[in-house]
Amino acid sequence: MSTTPLLSVRDLTMTFPGRGPRAARVRAVDGVSFDIAPGETLGLVGESGCGKSTTGRMIVRLLEPTSGSVTYDGRDITRLPQRALKPLRRELQMVFQDPHSSLNPRRTVARIISDPLLVHGSSAAEARRRAAELMELVGLIPEHLDRHPHEFSGGQAQRIGIARALATGPRLVVADEPVSALDVSVQAQIVNLMERLQAELGLAYLFVAHDLSVVKRVCDRVAVMYLGRIVEIGPKDRVYGDPAHPYTRALLSAVPLPDPAAERARERIVLAGDPPSPAAPPPGCTFHPRCPKARDVCRKEPPPLRITAAGEAREVACHFPETGPAPGDGARGQDASGGSGRDTP
Ligand SMILES: Nc1ncnc2c1ncn2[C@@H]1O[C@H](COP(=O)(O)OP(=O)(O)OP(=O)(O)O)[C@@H](O)[C@H]1O
Ligand code: SF4
Ligand SMILES: [Mg+2]
């Protein structure tokens, strides 16, 4: 995209101290880089524990990165002291997974939504007026401002969480699994709301989720994470339509297809075991112990994230990226390197 990015993340890493006296350090995020353009949605997907939330929290500075940089609107904000961060907090907001546990149960909705405005200098009357407007904007009844969070359903509570995030007029919202805790029927309503708000307000989203169908619907581009690294990133149509990384193909092959005949015919790639611990990542390509295509070089050399052909917008971190339709489209993918799949160890 030719526009100047609203957000640029470069080589972001987060190493947590191990839990327990002799525990190994946990490399939760290991060299993550991406851009988000104004008004764009980048989806971030991957199995539990791959580092999605840690990445999101570093961007909004809820966590201090171990190394790497976060540039917002052309300004490096990685090490800004809290005082200097205050004006940026208006522009960079977060929506959390569990709406009820992220809203203070003792406060009224009016307090919850207007708090960020009071922090940024609005008068009490102005903040309340704005809170009522925000209630309406997210599809809630402004007369319910004096209720407490437990008086709302999960979907309504998430609307309150969204209203709170929007109070200060952000340009980028990091939404960390914003619909995962909700009933399926309610998920669609919240996704619709987020799409409408994006169109009306020109918001950019980092949309974190493990549900690939939800991400497909909302995102312009998608990044697939595995064990703290991005293994594939690119325009939605490329990554979903022609996944190049064996891990992306496996994830996509597990997404149910609406057409029962296509569902029966499709090739399903079952991954062996769970992801390894980020406290002891495997050498070489960290996906190699689970990869159906792993060869000797994979066990030794970490594959860099790179484009696979001139003019290609999608990058992939694999020594033997695949090309061809997505698994489930009825055709088998081909090996771009001309190789013949897994070698015998
Ligand atoms: N404060 C912490 N201290 C130590 N380890 C942590 C801490 N926070 C996260 N981790 C570890 O870092 C890794 C990445 O965690 P993270 O929460 O970012 O993953 P995630 O992709 O968001 O997972 P999920 O889909 O379950 O939300 C995990 O192995 C997790 O156990
Ligand atoms: S580099 Fe090798 S092990 Fe890693 S994903 Fe590619 S083929 Fe599989
Ligand atoms: Mg998470």
- 200: domain range? 7-219
Ligand 2 atom nearest the C-alpha of 295 is 2
**Would the CB of 290 count as within 6 Å of ligand 2?**
no
Indicate the residue among 219, 237, 271 that finishes a domain.
219
Please state, in angstroms and rounded to a whole number, the distance separating the CA atoms of residues 313 and 318.
16
Does residue 205 share a domain with residue 281? no
> Using an 8 Å Cβ cutoff, are 266 and 253 in contact?
yes
Beta pairing class for 221-226 and 41-45: parallel
What is the number of domains present in the chain?
2
Beta pairing class for 7-16 and 67-72: antiparallel
**Would the CB of 20 count as within 6 Å of ligand 1?**
no
Tokens of 265: 């015919």
Indicate the residue among 173, 203, 219 that finishes a domain.
219
Cβ atoms < 10 Å from Cβ of 154: 16
Tokens of 174: 């990091």
Ligand 2 atom nearest the C-alpha of 321 is 6
Does residue 141 share a domain with residue 72? yes
Indicate the residue among 179, 203, 219 that finishes a domain.
219
**Would the CB of 26 count as within 6 Å of ligand 1?**
yes
Kindly report, residue by residue over 211-257, the tens digit of the pLDDT: 899 999 999 999 999 999 999 999 999 999 999 999 999 999 988 88
Kindly report, residue by residue over 162-181, the tens digit of the pLDDT: 999 999 999 999 999 999 99
Compute the distance from residue 83 Cα to the ligand 3 centre, in Å: 27
Distances (CA, A) of 158 to 7, 103, 251: 25, 9, 27
Residue 207's CATH number: 3.40.50.300
Q: Which residue, by CA, sits nearest to atom 24 of ligand 1?
A: 48
Tokens of 23: 């525990």
Work out the angle between the directed axes of helices 184-201 and 154-166 (0-180°, nearest 10).
20
Q: Does a structural domain hold residue 229?
A: no
User: What is the rounded average pLDDT for all residues in the chain?
Assistant: 90
Check: pTM over 0.75? Answer yes or no. Answer: yes
Ligand 1 atom nearest the C-alpha of 57 is 18
Q: Which residue, by CA, sits nearest to atom 26 of ligand 1?
A: 48
Residues lining ligand 3 (ion), CB within 5 A?
Answer: 53
Calculate mean pLDDT across residues 57-74.
96
**Would the CB of 284 count as within 6 Å of ligand 2?**
no
Does residue 94 share a domain with residue 42? yes
Kindly report, residue by residue over 111-160, the tens digit of the pLDDT: 999 999 999 899 999 999 999 999 999 999 999 999 999 999 999 999 99
Q: Which residue, by CA, sits nearest to atom 5 of ligand 2?
A: 318
Tokens of 299: 């066990």
**In the chain, what percentage of residues exceed pLDDT 70?**
93
Kindly report, residue by residue over 34-59, the tens digit of the pLDDT: 999 999 999 999 999 999 999 999 99
